Structure 1
Amino acid sequence: MKAVIQAGGRGTRLAPYSTVLPKALMPIGKGTVVDNLLDQFAAAGVREVVITVSSFGPLIRSYCGDGSRWGVTIDYVGEDEPLGTIGPLSALRDRLDGPFFVSNSDVYTDLDLTRVLEFHDASPGPLTVVLTPQTVNIPYGVITHDGGRVVGFQEKPTEVFHVSTGIYCMSPEVFDHIPATGAFGFDQLMAVMLEKGRPINAYEHDGRWVDIGRIEDLRRAQTQLTTMMDGMGDDVADL
Structure 2
Amino acid sequence: MFTLQDITVRPHITIRETLQIIDKSSKQIALVVDEDNKLIGTLNDGDIRRGLLKGFTLSDTIENIYFRTPTVANINESKETIIKLATTKKILQIPLIDNDGILVGLKNLDELIDQQKKPNKVILMVGGLGTRLRPLTENTPKPMLQVGNKPILQTIVEKFSEYGYDNIIMCVNYKSQIIQDYFGDGSQFGVSIEYIMENKRMGTAGALSLLPELPTEPFFVMNGDLLTNVNFEHLCDYHLAHQSKATMCVREYDFQVPYGVVNIDNGKITSIVEKPLHKFFVSAGIYMLSPDIIQYIPKNQFYDMPTLFEQLIENKENVLSFPIHEYWLDIGRVNDYERANNEYDKAFDV
TM-score by length of 2: 0.63
Query: Residue type of the partner of 1:118?
Result: D
Asked whether the 8 Å contact 2:229–2:326 carries over to 1, the reply is: yes
Pairing partner for 1:185 from 297, 304, 307: 304
Pairing partner for 2:164 from 33, 45, 59: 45
Secondary structure in 1 matching 2:337: helix
Pairing partner for 1:64 from 183, 199, 206: 183
Name the larger-Rg structure: 2
Secondary structure in 1 matching 2:233: helix
CA distance in 1, matches of 2:260, 2:212: 49
Q: Give the structure 2 partner of residue 31 of structure 1.
A: 150
Superposed displacement of residue 227, structure 1: 5.1
Asked whether the 8 Å contact 1:135–1:158 carries over to 2, the reply is: yes
Using a 3 Å threshold, how does the CA distance of structure 1 residues 183 and 228 change in structure 2: closer, same or farther? Answer: closer
Q: Give the structure 1 partner of residue 318 of structure 2.
A: 199
The yes-or-no answer on 1:83 pairing with 2:202 is yes
Structure 1 window deviating more from structure 2 (214-223 vs 115-124): it is: 214-223
| Count of matched residue positions in the alignment of Structure 1 and Structure 2 | 231
Q: Give the structure 2 partner of residue 156 of structure 1.
A: 275
Superposed displacement of residue 228, structure 1: 5.2
Higher share of residues assigned strand = 1
Superposed displacement of residue 226, structure 1: 4.2
Q: Give the structure 2 partner of residue 170 of structure 1.
A: 289
Asked whether the 8 Å contact 1:138–1:156 carries over to 2, the reply is: yes
Structure 1 window deviating more from structure 2 (216-225 vs 183-192): it is: 216-225
Superposed displacement of residue 124, structure 1: 2.2
The yes-or-no answer on 1:9 pairing with 2:128 is yes
Using a 3 Å threshold, how does the CA distance of structure 1 residues 198 and 18 change in structure 2: closer, same or farther? Answer: same
CA distance in 2, matches of 1:124, 1:227: 35
Structure 1 window deviating more from structure 2 (186-195 vs 154-163): it is: 154-163
Structure 1 window deviating more from structure 2 (28-37 vs 145-154): it is: 145-154
Asked whether the 8 Å contact 1:120–1:169 carries over to 2, the reply is: yes
Superposed displacement of residue 179, structure 1: 1.5
Using a 3 Å threshold, how does the CA distance of structure 1 residues 151 and 69 change in structure 2: closer, same or farther? Answer: farther
CA distance in 2, matches of 1:170, 1:151: 46
The higher relative CO (CA closer than 8 Å, separation ≥ 6) is in 1
Asked whether the 8 Å contact 1:93–1:175 carries over to 2, the reply is: no
Structure 1 residue runs of 4 or more that deviate by more than 4 Å after TM superposition: 226-229
CA distance in 2, matches of 1:93, 1:118: 26
Asked whether the 8 Å contact 1:51–1:74 carries over to 2, the reply is: yes
Asked whether the 8 Å contact 1:24–1:33 carries over to 2, the reply is: yes
The yes-or-no answer on 1:214 pairing with 2:333 is yes
The yes-or-no answer on 1:122 pairing with 2:122 is no
Q: What root-mean-square deviation, in Å, do the aligned CA atoms of Structure 1 and Structure 2 show?
A: 1.7
CA distance in 2, matches of 1:145, 1:22: 49
Aligned runs of 1:107-118 on 2, under 5 Å?
107-118=226-237
CA distance in 2, matches of 1:6, 1:140: 39
The yes-or-no answer on 1:99 pairing with 2:254 is no
CA distance in 2, matches of 1:166, 1:138: 26
Query: Residue type of the partner of 1:216?
Result: N
CA displacement, residues 22-69 of structure 1 (integer Å, 9 cap, x when unaligned)? 121122113221111101211222221111111210011111121113
Q: Give the structure 2 partner of residue 145 of structure 1.
A: 264
Superposed displacement of residue 218, structure 1: 1.5
CA distance in 1, matches of 2:159, 2:313: 30
Q: Give the structure 1 partner of residue 65 of structure 2.
A: none
Using a 3 Å threshold, how does the CA distance of structure 1 residues 177 and 125 change in structure 2: closer, same or farther? Answer: farther
CA distance in 2, matches of 1:151, 1:93: 60
Asked whether the 8 Å contact 1:93–1:172 carries over to 2, the reply is: no
Secondary structure in 2 matching 1:51: strand
CA distance in 1, matches of 2:134, 2:274: 35
Superposed displacement of residue 144, structure 1: 2.4
Query: Residue type of the partner of 1:114?
Result: E
Asked whether the 8 Å contact 1:33–1:107 carries over to 2, the reply is: yes
Q: Give the structure 2 partner of residue 131 of structure 1.
A: 250
Query: Residue type of the partner of 1:142?
Result: V
Using a 3 Å threshold, how does the CA distance of structure 1 residues 173 and 228 change in structure 2: closer, same or farther? Answer: closer
Q: Give the structure 2 partner of residue 19 of structure 1.
A: 138
Using a 3 Å threshold, how does the CA distance of structure 1 residues 135 and 105 change in structure 2: closer, same or farther? Answer: same
Superposed displacement of residue 93, structure 1: 6.2
